[in-house]
């Protein structure tokens, strides 16, 4: 039965996407700088700080100096853990650019990734918010007829391909992905440390995006263009800081974004989806729940992010049980019901490796099922081929076997909520897993 439903969902989803007038993604597009960390680089960096004799146990909360960055990187290597920290000042950013540099630049940021992953699909318009849009960032966007940024020409707001609309040249923001292999050695004052596994440390300099500052031009022009948009994918709250060097707090930046999203919704008639992503700070999470949840229609997350959210709502026992028992569907459903009861959300879409679940206030089960199944085909295709360009590519994803059923799959109505649980297609040796969550949630929302 599921194979048949999958086939129908591919056909139906592909047709339905063509009827969507336009999608906006904002407010986090950036450049990822990939750098492979080897022993000689570590030696060169350590020579600059001869007083470092040992590695502290915990990383810093933010990177305030080149030394902080190096120490955090060493901790990540010693533990084999993927920490992510924001760089707080421009001197440290310049030092890192000069002393570490990058091997390769890649498109980064949830909004840019979602726009880029949606652009091969038959959507007529995708408007991505990318600011500042330098030549370096613009050239990382794929060249596609349906992908735009909002810019001005002859004093009029217009939609243009990012590649034709860049303003400055240079790198003003970068998220360094410092990757290392298993067994990388650090020699320090007679002691040798060795990475227990391959992983990465991310150090990000992004002064505009980390304040979620939306340009005045965008705030005005989005209401002036004649082009119709119906869906908005908002994200980027995971790179906020609790406090800023100028004395502001994350709330100073969350509140204006929430107000602007609410205005966009009202004046443009948009449906809004928010992709949670992993937010380390419980303070930022609680402010996002307070200010952002009331202005969105749909929330997307994975099971780990969901367990954290449950803890924030005082459901620590359920969150622990979920983690201890490897996220069984019945418990995930219990948790989803609790979050729906306590928030104004209209829809939550939760993805795990084997199942996707959506819960909604309105009865929309057939569309929800098509949406989830279509998004699973996209995830399977991207895992299988590392990309998708055409309907034929998606047919290859469709061919990936659907995972074994547990008995909970299907449509359920509980306490006035509609639940749809689908089994997914899991690729055995995936070519690529980055960006899968983003594509599952964004395509699922568009088709829901």
Query: In angstroms, rounded to a whole number, what is the distance separating the alpha carbons of residues 20 and 233?
Result: 14
Q: Do 350 and 301 meet the contact criterion of CB atoms below 8 Å apart?
A: yes
Residue number with CB closer to ligand 8BR (125 or 273): 273
Please report how many Cα atoms fall inside a 13 Å half-sphere around the Cα of residue 189, on the Cβ side.
Answer: 7
Q: Which residue in 214, 348, 427, 446 binds ligand 8BR (CB under 6 A)?
A: 427
Residue number with CB closer to ligand 8BR (318 or 379): 379
Minimum CB distance to ligand 8BR, residue 380 (Å): 5
Using CB under 6 A as the binding rule, whether residue 436 contacts ligand 8BR is answered as: yes
Name which of residues 340 to 359 contact ligand 8BR (CB under 6 A): 351-353
Q: In terms of Cα–Cα distance, which of 347, 425, 340, 345 is closest to 385?
A: 425
Size of the site for ligand 8BR (CB under 6 A): 14
Helix axes 365-385, 2-18, angle to 10 degrees: 90
Comparing every residue's Cβ against ligand 8BR, the nearest one is 437
Q: Do 298 and 274 meet the contact criterion of CB atoms below 8 Å apart?
A: yes
Q: Which residues of 177-191 are buried (b: 16+ CB within 10 A; e: fewer)?
A: bbbbeeebebeeeee
Residue number with CB closer to ligand 8BR (344 or 401): 401
DSSP assignment of 238-255 equals: GG--SB-TTS-BHHHHHH
Name which of residues 386 to 425 contact ligand 8BR (CB under 6 A): 424
Residue 101's Cα: distance from chain center in Å?
24
Using CB under 6 A as the binding rule, whether residue 433 contacts ligand 8BR is answered as: yes
Minimum CB distance to ligand 8BR, residue 68 (Å): 28
Name which of residues 141 to 160 contact ligand 8BR (CB under 6 A): none
Q: Which two tokens stand for residue 393?
A: 């590519």
Using CB under 6 A as the binding rule, whether residue 426 contacts ligand 8BR is answered as: yes
Residue ranges of E strands in 17-119: 23-26, 30-36, 84-86, 104-108
Minimum CB distance to ligand 8BR, residue 279 (Å): 13
Query: In angstroms, rounded to a whole number, what is the distance separating the alpha carbons of residues 83 and 433?
Result: 18
SS3 104: strand
Using CB under 6 A as the binding rule, whether residue 383 contacts ligand 8BR is answered as: yes
Residue number with CB closer to ligand 8BR (131 or 349): 349
Minimum CB distance to ligand 8BR, residue 93 (Å): 27
In which region does residue 359 sit, left (phi positive, over 0), alpha (psi from -120 to 50) or beta (all else)? beta
Instruction: Name the catalytic one among 32, 72, 297, 438.
Output: 438
Minimum CB distance to ligand 8BR, residue 341 (Å): 24
Minimum CB distance to ligand 8BR, residue 233 (Å): 14
Residue number with CB closer to ligand 8BR (302 or 308): 302
Sign for the CA dihedral angle at 276, 249, 174, 36 comes to negative
Q: Which residue in 203, 250, 380, 447 binds ligand 8BR (CB under 6 A)?
A: 380
Minimum CB distance to ligand 8BR, residue 311 (Å): 18
Query: In angstroms, rounded to a whole number, what is the distance separating the alpha carbons of residues 337 and 314?
Result: 14
Please report how many Cα atoms fall inside a 13 Å half-sphere around the Cα of residue 106, on the Cβ side.
Answer: 15
Query: How do beta strands 84-86 and 199-205 pair?
Result: parallel
Q: In terms of Cα–Cα distance, which of 426, 418, 435, 436 is closest to 348?
A: 418
Minimum CB distance to ligand 8BR, residue 153 (Å): 37
Residue number with CB closer to ligand 8BR (150 or 380): 380
Using CB under 6 A as the binding rule, whether residue 302 contacts ligand 8BR is answered as: yes
Q: Which residue in 118, 379, 422, 446 binds ligand 8BR (CB under 6 A)?
A: 379
Residue number with CB closer to ligand 8BR (125 or 355): 355
Using CB under 6 A as the binding rule, whether residue 437 contacts ligand 8BR is answered as: yes
438 is catalytic: yes
Using CB under 6 A as the binding rule, whether residue 444 contacts ligand 8BR is answered as: no
Minimum CB distance to ligand 8BR, residue 97 (Å): 28
Using CB under 6 A as the binding rule, whether residue 430 contacts ligand 8BR is answered as: yes
Please report how many Cα atoms fall inside a 13 Å half-sphere around the Cα of residue 141, on the Cβ side.
Answer: 34
Q: Which two tokens stand for residue 128?
A: 């991505």
Q: Do 209 and 236 meet the contact criterion of CB atoms below 8 Å apart?
A: yes
Residue number with CB closer to ligand 8BR (256 or 435): 435
Residue number with CB closer to ligand 8BR (30 or 424): 424
Q: Do 149 and 128 meet the contact criterion of CB atoms below 8 Å apart?
A: yes
Neighbours of 132 (CB within 10 A): 16
Span interacting with ligand 8BR, options 44-52, 237-245, 321-329, 376-384, rule CB under 6 A: 376-384
Q: Which residues bind ligand 8BR (CB under 6 A)?
A: 302, 351-353, 379-380, 383, 424, 426-427, 430, 433, 436-437
- What amino acid positions are annotated as catalytic residues? 438
């Amino acid at each position: 039965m599921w194979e048949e439903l999958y086939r129908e969902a591919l056909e139906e989803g592909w047709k339905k996407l063509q009827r969507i007038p336009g999608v906006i993604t904002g407010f986090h597009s950036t450049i990822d700088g990939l750098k492979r960390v080897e022993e000689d680089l570590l030696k060169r960096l350590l020579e600059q700080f001869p007083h470092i004799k040992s590695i502290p146990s915990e990383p810093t909360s933010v990177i305030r100096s080149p030394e902080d960055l190096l120490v955090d990187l060493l901790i990540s290597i010693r533990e084999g853990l993927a920490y992510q920290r924001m760089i707080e000042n421009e001197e440290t950013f310049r030092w890192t650019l000069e002393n570490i540099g990058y091997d390769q630049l890649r498109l980064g940021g949830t909004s840019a990734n979602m726009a880029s992953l949606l652009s091969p699909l038959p959507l007529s318009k995708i408007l991505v918010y990318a600011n500042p849009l330098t030549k370096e960032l613009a050239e990382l966007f794929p060249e596609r007829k349906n992908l735009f940024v909002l810019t001005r020409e002859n004093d009029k707001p217009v939609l243009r391909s990012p590649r034709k609309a860049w303003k400055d040249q240079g790198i003003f923001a970068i998220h360094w992905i410092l990757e290392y292999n298993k067994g990388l050695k650090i020699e320090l004052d007679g002691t040798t440390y060795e990475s227990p596994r391959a992983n990465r440390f991310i150090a990000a300099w992004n002064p505009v995006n980390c304040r979620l500052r939306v340009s005045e031009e965008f705030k005005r022009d989005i209401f002036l263009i004649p082009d119709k948009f119906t869906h908005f994918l908002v994200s980027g709250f995971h790179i906020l800081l609790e406090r800023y060097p100028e004395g502001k707090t994350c709330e100073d930046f969350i509140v204006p974004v929430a107000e602007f999203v609410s205005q966009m919704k009202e004046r443009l008639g948009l449906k809004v989806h928010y992709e949670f992503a992993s937010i380390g700070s419980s303070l930022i999470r609680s402010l996002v729940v307070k200010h952002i949840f009331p202005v969105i229609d749909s929330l997307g997350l994975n099971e780990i992010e969901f367990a954290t959210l449950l803890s924030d709502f005082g459901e620590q026992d359920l969150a622990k049980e979920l983690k201890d028992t490897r996220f069984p569907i019945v418990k995930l459903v219990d948790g989803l019901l609790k979050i729906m009861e306590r928030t104004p959300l209209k829809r939550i879409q939760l993805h795990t490796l084997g199942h996707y679940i959506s819960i909604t206030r309105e009865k929309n089960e057939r569309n929800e099922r098509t949406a989830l199944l279509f998004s699973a085909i996209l995830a399977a295709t991207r895992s299988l081929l590392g990309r998708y360009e055409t309907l034929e590519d998606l047919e290859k994803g469709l061919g990936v076997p659907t995972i074994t059923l547990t008995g909970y799959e299907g449509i359920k109505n509980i306490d006035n909520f509609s639940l749809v649980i689908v089994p997914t297609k899991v690729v055995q040796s995936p070519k690529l897993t980055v960006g899968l969550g983003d594509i599952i949630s964004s395509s699922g929302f568009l088709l829901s």
